[in-house]
Structure 1
Amino acid sequence: MPRSPHRLTAGALAALLGASTLGLGLAAPTAQAAPGDVVISENFDDGQVPAGWRAVSGPWSVVDGRLVVSGGQISRMTFGENLTNYRLDADVRFEQVANATRWAGVLVDAPADGAVPWWQAVMRTTSTAANGIEIAQRTPSNGWNVPFTASAPTDAGVGRDVAVSIEVRGTQVRWFFDGAPVLEGRVQRTADGVQGLVADGSTVSFDNVVVTEIEPATLNQGDGELPAIAAHRGYSAVNPENTLAALVAGARAGAAWVETDVHTSADGVPVIMHDDTVDRTTPGSGRASGLTGPALTGLDAGSWFDAAFAAQRVPTLDEALEVTARSTSDLLLEIKGPETPAEVARTLDAVRAAGMADRTLVQSFDEAVLRAARAHDPSIRLGLLRGQLDADPVAVSRDLGVVAYNPSFGALRNRPSLVGELNAAGVAVFAWTADAATDWAWLTDAGVDGIITNRPGALGGWLTAREQAPAPAPAPAPTVTVVAPADGSTVERGERFAVAASTTDATDVTVTLDGAAVTSGSIEASALTLGRHTVTATASGAGGTATASSTFEVVVTAEGLRGRLIAADVSLGQLQQMLTAVQKEDWGRLRNAVVRHVADAATRARLLEEIDALAG
């Protein structure tokens, strides 16, 4: 859509400052959008606030073809519908600001009535400041949670449009400033949150607001991207595994995924438990599948780890889904086999009922579980767990229809090239379970898409340090110089001369003489024609290439010619006649003698060339 060149006149701005708050109804629900569909497109050229846009707070109106709000504290306009994956584009302009700390931008996920809590992606006029760009939450208690800040390439300033683009894929948010990516973060999503615009303590105008449905996030990380963090059984290094406390802690540590395990009880209740039996992590005894739901959920699942966690009980899947849905993490859910198709279906139905189908990857070691899951809910994403690698993991992945092949770290070490093979087939790789920095480095260098770890907080810090580490210094550019023959020098045709080049920071050097490759060392000038010749040296290295050349001249002297006459196949008397002509510089007589007495045509032609050169 073309950018509208609207600017507010002084009179329009004065009228705007006295505008009253609009009260508008919500839009009727629209049909489900598909990737690529433009859901909203507004340029305000008709002079009206669009139907269904709700001014929650602040004086909003359309002036000179732009939607404008002035002054006030946290003015908000909501619109649109609940979308899981979308891009919101808008031209945003600060017209007046109270001070440089004021901000404006986009509501990413907000109640239609504008109540707390909501998430926003905003900028300040001084957007090059360390916190000039933000992804922040207005909390349920009307406070601020600002977990993500960055700086923009330039200041937004006052009186100029900034092309703001916000991409939302599930809980993932990417912030673009005039087309440049400036910030990424994760936000909590709600089942009914909509989009909106927001401004604080400023007069701000908006134009060309477009909301487009986009493709969901893929599991595959792009080239050079760091792996996603998956908190193994929650943050199990500092919490009892597979408890609600561990799941919440994993999300709060910034893990993109929390991983947990589900069994089905004897009476059909999906519960969170890793082992087949409850003996290790609870005071109970027996197989999880042999106990009822109430019996399982009544068990203390925290005291074995520390008395401080005595209140933690074995959670149901529904409870785990509820706390994860309220977090910024997605769910990596392992179904422990064997499970009947009905039990698998019950687990998947619970995931979908919790609104977590788009935020869950179901994985299992049991291929029968994965086939049952595919049959029951073909849209659910699946991952195959492996302790040892298959002979052809790509073929197995295609056969099972999985989007992730998740091997043990130990198995992957024996075949790191597998990551590239699976990624090329569109299959992600999440390796388990790695807790040491040396292992994280190896997996990151191998290009895995995710690392499953008991220490998500530590891994997050390690990845941040790696991302912020200074880029390696560029390799120095090579240099090269032709040291022999010297530029402008002369070489007598009968002599040998050296060819040599000097280089720095080079891994390969080629030398040519008149375009033909030669090796450094001694070369016979007798094979060259009289006149100018060029030696060229090219050096290449990690820092690029460099070229240098030297031009020299092959000449003939009377002394040199005398030596070549002596070497010619002529009689002694004929040779004496020719040497006398050289001594007297009688070049005409010498020429006639060479023509008469030198039988070899090549030798004769070369001698005649040299005689003509001396004759001038």
Structure 2
Amino acid sequence: MRRFLRYAFFAIVTLAVFVFLNNTDLFVSRPDREPIVLAHRGIAQRYDLAGVTNDTCTASRILPPKHDYLENTIASMQASFKAGADIVELDIHPTTDGQFAVFHDWTLDCRTDGHGVTREHSMADLKKLDIGYGYTADGGKTYPLRGRGVGLMPTFAEVLETFPDLPFLINIKSNDPDEGSKLAALLNALPPERRSTIMAYGGDRPIAILRAAVPAMKTMSRASLKRCLLGYIAYGWTGAIPGECHSTLVFVPINVAPWLWGWPNRFLNRMDSAGSTAFVIGPYNGGDFSTGMDSVEELSRLPKHYSGGMLTNEIEMVAAWLRAK
């Protein structure tokens, strides 16, 4: 019995030493660089987050505007890159005339002077709309951006033409597999070097189609992200990387990050070796994965010399914070 206990003790100590050495940041190097900053929707009008649900018309509850930029517009993207964004996230919808509109909402009624489901319109009709029509900071007494957004809804093709070599993250707003096929056809028509600068996330079904049709592209769905993170938490201590963590985006909620084996540097190196890119996002509280690193308090939770990616809705604040470090 004593011999068995000695062997068991030796095995436990050996395993503990292996786990420590295999996951410690000691002796691990990373590029000496600033974090890669992903601007979610670009510079946009901020709004009161209290009680927001998927059905909330956020344009009707904006904070008093500090600028005239509207999310998902060319001007907003230009300002985001100028402010310090490395990547800009945008939202797309297919149109009835075979294009992709860059616009956030599933329907037009909240932000614009149009009505109905966005994807049920032609791009020619969407170009006529005022996408600043519905923004109000005082409950509808005034509409400070009304009239300033006429014709500003771009196509994805226009975005690519305006920014021929800058990286983007596409958000597919539906779970329609046909949308994945249409987007794959557009992307496969691009030169390989341009295609390599574009990533995508969204519904499980279109992302599955896109992943199969454009295999070198980094893609992510909500389900694939959960499988990646849960698998890594379960057995990442071995150094093995779950299949779902390969060639993907990995959104890491800042409150989940400490549970990831080898966080931060060894984890980031493992994701790099799997052809993936990790972005720290805001805390996960059981909802979706769209919150960003949007306050100094959240940014202060990043490890010292953090060199991975981060997602933010406040690119100007984050850029200023990084400059002041």
- How many Å separate the matches in 2 of 1:264 and 1:289? 5
What residue number does 1:430 align with? Answer: 279
Identity fraction in percent: 23
Q: Tell me how far apart the structure 2 counterparts of residues 430 and 445 of structure 1 sit (CA, whole Å).
A: 16
Q: Select 1:344's aligned residue among 167, 170, 180.
A: 180
**Matched-pair contact (CA < 8 Å) for 2:39–2:87:** yes
TM-score of the aligned structures, taking structure 1 as reference length: 0.35
**Per-residue deviation, 1:376:** 1.1
Q: Aligned residue for 1:458?
A: 317
Residues 499-550 of structure 1: CA distance to partner in whole angstroms, max 9, x if unpaired?
Answer: xxxxxxxxxxxxxxxxxxxxxxxxxxxxxxxxxxxxxxxxxxxxxxxxxxxx
Residue number in structure 2 paired with 1:371: 208
Structure 1 contact 393–422 (Cα < 8 Å) conserved: no
Q: Deviations over 1:160-184 (max 9, x none)?
A: xxxxxxxxxxxxxxxxxxxxxxxxx
Q: How does 1:168-317 map to 2 (within 5 A)?
A: 222=30, 225-237=33-45, 238=67, 239-305=69-135, 306-307=145-146, 309-317=148-156
Q: Which has the larger Rg?
A: 1
Aligned to 2:299: 440
Alpha-carbon RMSD: 3.1
Alignment map for 1:115-130 (pairs within 5 Å): none
Aligned equivalents of 1:387 and 1:280: distance in 2?
31
The answer on whether the counterparts of 2:170 and 2:200 sit within 8 Å (CA) in structure 1 is yes
Matches of 2:243 and 2:305 in 1, distance apart? 22
Deviation at 1:240, TM superposition (A): 0.8
Q: Is the 8 A contact 1:229 1:255 kept in 2?
A: yes
Alignment partner of 2:322: what SS? helix
* Gaps in structure 1 of 5+ consecutive residues: 1-220, 467-616
Cα offset, 1:438, TM superposition: 1.6
Conserved? CA contact 2:128–2:151, under 8 Å:
no
Match of 2:219 among 379, 382, 397: 382
Are residues 337 and 298 of structure 1, via their aligned partners in 2, closer, same or farther at CA, if it must alter by over 3 Å? Answer: same
Measure the CA separation in 1 of the matches of 2:125 and 2:294: 33
Contact in 1 for aligned 2:225/2:244 (Cα 8 Å): no
Residue correspondences, number: 239
1:268/1:445 CA distance change after superposition, 3 Å: farther
| Unaligned stretches of 5+ residues in structure 2 | 1-28, 46-66, 136-144, 236-240, 282-291
State how far apart, in whole Å, the 2-side matches of 1:363 and 1:274 are. Answer: 14
The one-letter code matched in structure 2 to 1:317 is F
Query: What SS class does the counterpart of residue 294 from structure 1 fall into?
Result: helix
Q: Which has the higher strand share?
A: 1
TM-score (norm 2): 0.63
Work out which structure has the larger RCO, using CA pairs closer than 8 Å and 6 or more positions apart in sequence: 2
Aligned counterpart for 1:416 among listed residues 245, 258, 263: 258
* Alignment partners' CA distance in 2, 1:225 and 1:416: 21
CA distance in 2, matches of 1:320, 1:415: 33
3-state SS, counterpart of residue 278 of structure 1: coil
Which residue number in structure 2 is paired with residue 579 of structure 1? none
2:200 partner SS: strand
Matched residue SS, 2:298 = helix
Residues 292 and 312 (structure 1), Cα distance of their counterparts in 2 relative to 1, 3 Å cut: closer
Report how far residue 372 of structure 1 moved.
0.5
Cα distance between partner residues in 2 of 1:285 and 1:448: 44
Deviation of 1:397 after TM superposition, in Å, equals: 6.0
Match of 1:334 among 153, 164, 171: 171
